Amino acid sequence: MKIDWFEKLRTYLQVLAFALVVATLQYTFMPERPYGPPVVYSLFIASITWAIIDLGREFFPSSAETGWPHGWPGIALVVGGIAVGYLLGSGIADRLCFLFGWQQSDIGVRENLTRSSILITALAGIAGTYYFYSSHKSAYLERKMDETSRQADEARLRLLETQLEPHMLFNTLANLRALITTDPPRATAMLDRMIAYLRATLSASRQGTHPLAAEFERLQDYLELMAVRMGPRLHYTLDLPPELATCPVPALLLQPLVENSIAHGLEPKVEGGSITVQARRDGAQLVLEVIDTGLGLDASQGSSDGTGFGLAQVRERLATEYGAQAALNFVAGGEGGTRATITFPCKP
């Protein structure tokens, strides 16, 4: 049995606050009596009742939904806790009030006070128990909703990844097909690289997230594959500071951006060009950039915001994984190409 003592302390402080409210209400209706006795009685009765019910329920099988014992044991625990709390708490409070001279000497008045105390204790005990029972149930339902929401986000992310992998594979096969008819030796070299690349990439994509260093390794494999096809027309630079190598990122996050730069910017350009992938930190944000010197925005998806399949996938994956904390900007580059910038929190 593992007891969360911090949670118990938080609940006990709430019980004490509730007891003070009850004592204050009693004093409001009987201002002719001192304020001390209602406070003493309320605090001791509430404390003992709390101890019996809240600590006692840990010794019974409890519902995962509410954290309270099932059936009759739960009811008996509450009734017994209130009864023992009243008797024991009143006994202790009687002695303290006698020491402070707060004891009421009129027997009739004392009997009336006793009857009202029993009623107040019963009502307060039932109300307090129901409040904490409802709080536990609400907290459980919130946890289940959060869990369901996370599962839905994970399922959506997996769907996006399964859509992205065939897209990447078909692009690579299309490049290979074009090369087979023009340069068979280079096509063979490209096929060998593609086999090694796909083996590593498809394995990495099943992980959901992986270190940024692994993402850059997959990009290097892909760019080497494209270099076989484009030859000296393709130049690339991968810039990953060592301190960012372990930042977790969604697998194949940068792949669509690099494919977009090559397919729409560099490959159609007669003289080719260069592509740079770099990472840096901006406060708590990780900034990833894919910069090319290709044909520019007019040739890249025909839209200044980048609305092609790959870019749309990146946006959706960022939204699913990071929500409003992530962003993808797609703008014209300084040398006539394009610059795609991703920002999201780097969670160590």
Nearest CA to 201 out of 234, 248, 169 is that of 169
Q: Which of the pair, 146 or 224, is modelled with greater confidence?
A: 224
Global pTM value: 0.52
* CB 194 within 8 Å of CB 221: no
Per-residue pLDDT, averaged over 305-323, amounts to 73
Q: Which of the pair, 171 or 55, is modelled with greater confidence?
A: 55
Per-residue pLDDT, averaged over 217-221, amounts to 86
Indicate the pLDDT class of residue 304, thresholds 50, 70 and 90. very low
What topology is assigned to 231-345 in CATH? Heat Shock Protein 90 (3.30.565)
Per-residue pLDDT, averaged over 320-345, amounts to 87
> In whole angstroms, what is the distance from residue 93 CA to residue 99 CA?
10
> In whole angstroms, what is the distance from residue 212 CA to residue 261 CA?
20
> In whole angstroms, what is the distance from residue 204 CA to residue 260 CA?
21
> In whole angstroms, what is the distance from residue 284 CA to residue 50 CA?
44
Residue 110: its pLDDT value, please?
A: 56
Helix axes 184-205, 212-230, angle to 10 degrees: 160
**104-156 per-position pLDDT tens digit:** 554 544 566 677 778 788 888 888 888 887 877 777 777 777 777 666 656 65
CA 116-122-126 angle, to 5 degrees, is 145
User: How crowded is residue 52: how many other Cβ atoms within 10 Å of its Cβ?
Assistant: 19
> In whole angstroms, what is the distance from residue 291 CA to residue 301 CA?
15
Q: Which of the pair, 168 or 87, is modelled with greater confidence?
A: 87
Nearest CA to 219 out of 201, 234, 193 is that of 201
Q: Which of the pair, 21 or 4, is modelled with greater confidence?
A: 21
Asked whether the predicted pLDDT for residue 193 surpasses 70, the reply is: yes
> In whole angstroms, what is the distance from residue 287 CA to residue 181 CA?
40
Per-residue pLDDT, averaged over 43-64, amounts to 83
Sequence spans of domains, the chain: 5-147, 231-345
Instruction: Give the DSSP letter of residue 62.
Output: B
Going from the C-alpha of 75 to that of each of 117, 155, 220, the distances in angstroms are 21, 41, 66
Retrieve residue 342's tokens: 């991703």
Going from the C-alpha of 227 to that of each of 155, 175, 187, 194, the distances in angstroms are 35, 11, 12, 12
Sign of CA dihedral 37, 39, 44, 45: positive
